[in-house]
Amino acid sequence: MHIHKDRQFKVFRIIPWVILGILGAAFLALIFGLVVMFLWNWLMPQIFGLTEITYWQAWGLVLLAQILFKGGHHHSDHRGDSRRHHDVWREKFHEKFGRTEEVNLNGEGENEDAAD
């Protein structure tokens, strides 16, 4: 019975943090949308002659930018994933075409027999 009470205690300790996280995310979304709206309404009509936008249009722009520039997917380690992907393709290349010598841009270590 003691284990059951410990689980309930942990759940009650987590619930306020979950609620705080949701409220914090909502607050940041509100602030970010307002910042985009104010910047747009301050700059775009004067620079490009565009009309002013509402809060929801600004929030839609933020969402659109997220989709276009970040692709809508999240990975915890982009560099590690791309490095592994690069290594896989490098190995496939070497299997098909064999190992190639690296090009030395300084000219050192080139085929010395041809220079004689």
pLDDT of res. 94: 82
Confidence at 27, pLDDT banded by 50, 70, 90: very high
- Residue 96 within any structural domain of the chain: no
Token pair 């041809």 is found at 114
Q: Decide if 69 is inside a domain.
A: yes
In a domain, 56, yes or no: yes
20 versus 114: the higher-pLDDT residue is: 20
- Structural domain for 47, as ranges: 1-73
Record the tokens describing residue 83, joined without a space. 């490095």
Segment 69-114, tens digit of pLDDT: 987 665 555 556 677 777 888 888 888 787 665 545 555 555 545 5
Asked whether the whole model's pTM tops 0.85, one would answer: no
What local confidence, expressed as pLDDT, does residue 90 receive?
83
Asked, for residue 106, whether it belongs to a domain, the answer is no
Is residue 2 situated within a structural domain? Answer: yes
In a domain, 107, yes or no: no
What is d(CA 14, CA 47) in angstroms, rounded to the nearest whole number?
A: 49
* Count of structural domains within the chain: 1
